[in-house]
Structure 1
């Protein structure tokens, strides 16, 4: 619930309306001009929470470079962190904000981060 609140807070700060839905059994959040952000928990990694972004974006590669220690990065679409401790709020807030403004950032070096 804290991460959900963070997502809505980031969108509100960007003056964007969030569409919340279920995609593939996972919570999905979309704003106009951005790319979708999904939240997931898996039995394969029961102590972790994952945030997914679209695999055809530069988001995860850029986050790896700019925020190298914020998450465990898996492939080109997944940010993972331990759910047993405090989640990386500042890094997650930044990442969601960049995802929600992706269309205007995608041509910028390091997505303008």
Structure 2
């Protein structure tokens, strides 16, 4: 499995290894996007990768700048990226791109296996989530 950066938590690595092949590739692409966005966004700091609700989750424990981002498999197939449902993160993104994605209410975006991901647009969502608390603090 081509995981960059390498997994630090063996439980997270095992979770990725358990995902079906095509979904795993999409989820690894989203994982790389999350890490790259964190590295290039001021005041985010290092990420913690862990499992929350059995899904890979990305937090900003040192700076507390962001809201948790999770990756997983929706019941209908494919793969997904999730934000905290009690924030406006996904609603704000959906206002920008109302017809570009398959939304799951105010919590997630679903993708089909093998689908090319619009990384430039998704980078905006990830950046918004990783800096959510910075905006609220002013």
* Superposed pair shares fold, TM > 0.5: yes
Equivalent position of 1:22 in the other structure: 51
Listed as ranges, the gaps of 5+ residues in structure 1 are 109-113
Unaligned runs of at least 5 residues, structure 2: 1-27
Pair 1:35 & 2:67 matched:
yes
Q: Which of these residues, 93, 108, 124, is aligned with residue 63 of structure 1?
A: 93
**1:6 maps to what in 2?**
33
Q: Which of structure 1's runs of 4+ aligned residues deviate more than 2 A?
A: 104-108
Query: Residues 69 and 81 of structure 2 are in contact (CA less than 8 Å); yes or no, is this contact kept in structure 1?
Result: yes
- Larger Cα Rg: Structure 1 or Structure 2? 2
SS where residue 45 of structure 1 aligns?
Answer: coil
Q: Is the 8 A contact 2:90 2:125 kept in 1?
A: no
Greater per-residue strand proportion:
1
Q: Which protein is richer in helix relative to its size?
A: 2
Question: How much is the aligned-residue C-alpha RMSD, in angstroms?
Answer: 1.8
CA distance in 1 between counterparts of 2:90 and 2:38 reads 19
Partner Cα separation in structure 1 for residue 46 and residue 137 of structure 2: 23
Q: Distance in 1 between matches of 2:115 and 2:107?
A: 22
When residues 57 and 107 of structure 1 are mapped into structure 2, their CA distance, relative to the original with a 3 A threshold, is farther
Aligned length: 106
Q: Name the TM-score, length of structure 2 as normaliser.
A: 0.70
Q: Give yes or no for contact 1:70–1:88 (8 Å, CA) kept in 2.
A: no
